Homo-oligomer: A and B are copies of this chain.
Amino acid sequence: MKETATKILDVGQELIQTRGYTAMSFQDIAVQVGIKKPSVIHHFSSKADLGVAIIQRYRDTFASQLEAIKNDPEKTSWEALEFYFSPYLHFASTPDTVCLCGALAGEVPALPEKMRAEVKQFMEDHQRWLEVILRTGRKNGELNFKETPARLSRMLFNTLQGTLLVKRSTDDLSQLKDVIKVIMHMLK
């Protein structure tokens, strides 16, 4: 049986990814977890605290995945890229869901200050990891591109985030696959 706090984080994250932080309420979370609103607040004393906890948990799991890939010398750059793209492909099959950082980025002005710093770090984590893959891939001779790894990684990261964003309104789920295909092709 999952602990209540973990359930709250799970439900909260899902709600942010589908409806956004502002539209996520303690009440919604309480209903989905099966408890009452004040009990949610008992675990996370404010909405901002809950938001920060959700981002931090996500960042932690992301960081550990990064380490696992980094320390596996058998992984090729292409496999690392595929791993990086896999969650995006997952979003391609769920019309209204979006990467956590993308959902939060769209709401930055409405976010409590505590959360903004986390979101910023979050974006930088993502972009920098892609940068590392690109740099080592080119050094190994596996990947081929003209731009600097920093600039290209920023651009590709932005493209992925933008595709997720646009997907929400157009419901054109095939775009994500197309975009990833084009990116892969560009790097050969």
Q: Which residues of A contact B (CB under 8 A)?
A: 18-20, 22-23, 96, 101-110, 116, 119-120, 122-124, 147, 151-152, 154-155, 157-163, 165-166, 168-171, 175, 178-179, 182
The 7 A-B residue pairs whose C-beta atoms are closest, nearest first, are: A162-B162, A106-B106, A158-B162, A161-B162, A158-B163, A159-B159, A108-B168
The answer to whether B175 touches A158, judged by C-beta atoms less than 8 angstroms apart, is: yes
Give the Cβ gap from A185 to chain B, nearest Cβ, in Å.
9
The answer to whether B151 touches A106, judged by C-beta atoms less than 8 angstroms apart, is: no
* Copy total for this chain: 2
6 contacts between A and B (CB under 8 A): A18-B109, A20-B107, A116-B169, A120-B170, A161-B166, A165-B165
Tell me whether A23 and B160 are in contact in the complex, defined as CB-CB below 8 angstroms, given that A151-B182, A169-B116, A182-B151 are known contacts. Answer: no
The dominant DSSP class at the A interface is helix
CA distance A25 to B110 in the complex (A): 13
Give the Cβ gap from A31 to chain B, nearest Cβ, in Å.
17
Given B18, B103, B159, B169, which contacts A162 in the complex, CB threshold below 8 Å? B159
